[in-house]
Amino acid sequence: MGRSLARKFVERGDSVAVLGRDLEELQKSQADLQARGSPGVRVVSVKCDLEAPETFRASLEQAEQGLEGLDTVVVTAGLFATQEKLEQDPALAHKVLTVDFANTVVFCEEARKKLLLHGKGTLCVFSSVAGDRARKPVVLYGAAKAGLSAYLEGLDHKYRAQGLTTICVKPGFVKTAMTAGLPVPPFAGDPDEVAQIVIEGIDAGTPVVYAPRIWQAVMTAIKAMPRFVMRRAKF
């Protein structure tokens, strides 16, 4: 989803810094984006690992310097594992919970401070519909995303008037490498579809963006279900 977003940004004329932990993949993405952008579009790549919070500040500084400015930060990275695997592997569970909640929040705090130094900016972060309602298949992953969604809502309440536009993206099931091999449920989206919805949300400053959009209705119905129904449900 991050790659799809970056492609849409450069194709419309935005300069982009791509952050990630795999230098080889970053260089491939940088070359692809540079080829898609117009001559005036700047594309830089910066190493940054969500498992290494000590890299966050320097990585954002490098991105800002490479672009000669920074007005929008988009966070799409995260980890996923099935509930079964997380229950069987406490170390993996700790890793997913730490990266998807604590480390992502720490990264966002660095981005928030940097954007507010300029007086305004947009922080767009991918959470998940899994955080909207506790469900059997995503107890641990959903808990991390619920915490992230609550944090982003708090940022919106506190800093919107100061110039920080916070956008919480809640994708449903999206067909990516992360979900490869999993059963594809109804309403599954693809990265390009999600990217277009997210860009529209960024441009409009929408606080919460569901992608595909139908997931807003789906989750509204699920959130309304009584607890005794959720105990019996398999989804």
The total number of structural domains that make up the chain: 1
Find the mean pLDDT for residues 132-160.
98
Q: Residue 179 and residue 145: Cα distance in Å, rounded?
A: 16
For residue 151, pLDDT over 80 is answered with yes
- The pLDDT score that the predictor gives to residue 181 is 66
Q: Assign 178 a pLDDT band (cuts: 50, 70, 90).
A: low
Q: Residue 174 and residue 188: Cα distance in Å, rounded?
A: 5
| Domain assignment present for 3 | no
Q: Residue 76 and residue 103: Cα distance in Å, rounded?
A: 13
Q: Which domain holds residue 173?
A: 70-232
Q: Which residue has the tokens 């966002």?
A: 108
- Nearest residue to 131 via CA among 155, 114, 151, 108: 151
Q: Residue 172 and residue 17: Cα distance in Å, rounded?
A: 26
Q: Residue 13 and residue 92: Cα distance in Å, rounded?
A: 40
- Are the C-beta atoms of residues 107 and 49 closer than 8 Å to each other? no
Instruction: Mention every residue, 6+ apart, whose C-beta is less than 8 A from residue 159.
Output: 112, 116, 166
| Domain assignment present for 25 | no
| Domain assignment present for 12 | no
Find the mean pLDDT for residues 72-81.
96
3-state DSSP call for residue 206? coil
Separation of CA 151 from chain center: 13
Q: What is the pTM of this model?
A: 0.93
| Domain assignment present for 140 | yes
Find the mean pLDDT for residues 167-188.
76
Q: How many Cα atoms are found within 13 Å in the side-chain-facing hemisphere of 212?
A: 14
List, in sequence order, every beta strand (DSSP E) within the chain.
16-20, 43-47, 72-75, 121-126, 164-171, 208-211
- The pLDDT score that the predictor gives to residue 1 is 87
Find the mean pLDDT for residues 50-56.
96
| Domain assignment present for 81 | yes
| Domain assignment present for 54 | no
| Domain assignment present for 65 | no
For residue 210, pLDDT over 90 is answered with yes
Find the mean pLDDT for residues 22-28.
93
- Are the C-beta atoms of residues 198 and 209 closer than 8 Å to each other? yes
- The pLDDT score that the predictor gives to residue 189 is 76
Instruction: Transcribe 96-133 into DSSP letters.
Output: HHIIIIIIHHHHHHHHHHHHHHTT-EEEEEE--GGGTS
- The pLDDT score that the predictor gives to residue 106 is 98
| Domain assignment present for 135 | yes
Q: What's 208's domain CATH number?
A: 3.40.50.720
Find the mean pLDDT for residues 29-57.
95
The answer to whether the peptide bond before residue 212 is cis (omega within 30 degrees of 0) is yes
Find the mean pLDDT for residues 57-61.
97
- Nearest residue to 216 via CA among 184, 174, 173, 170: 170
Beta bridge partners of 18: 45
Mean pLDDT computed over every residue of the chain = 94
